Amino acid sequence: MEISWSDFEKVDIRVGTILDALDFPDARNPAFKLRVDFGVELGIKRSSAQITAHYSKEDLVGKQVIAVVNFPAKQIATLMSECLVLGVLAEDGVVLLSPSKPVKNGSKIA
């Protein structure tokens, strides 16, 4: 399925820094609850991420990630997810997308 350039421009993809990662035992599949700082304009948003195969909670704190920030909030078990942290579906679990160098939180993906 093709999308138009104007469709793609509607997706707001930003960089944020993970502030904390907590176990999420209520999730259907192993996951962490994340709080991600997207800077002054967007603030802190919550998300659930099935990334336990490659990351520990300690690995995640301070890590910059890329996320879609303009989806409507979605209930995931007991958490209201406010953004979608992006990753690659590898054979052995999800690998997070992140900038190769530190950038300002809230920076738009171009």
Predicted TM-score (pTM) of this structure: 0.94
Domain boundaries, the chain: 5-95
* Ramachandran quadrant class, 25 (left: phi over 0; alpha: psi -120 to 50; beta: rest): alpha
d(CA 20, CA 88): 21
Q: What is the pLDDT of residues 55-108, one digit of tens each?
A: 999 999 999 999 999 999 999 999 999 999 999 999 999 999 999 999 999 999
Token pair belonging to 99 = 């900038």
CA distances from 30 to 49, 60, 100 (A): 9, 15, 27
Could you tell me which CATH number the domain at 5-95 has? 2.40.50.140
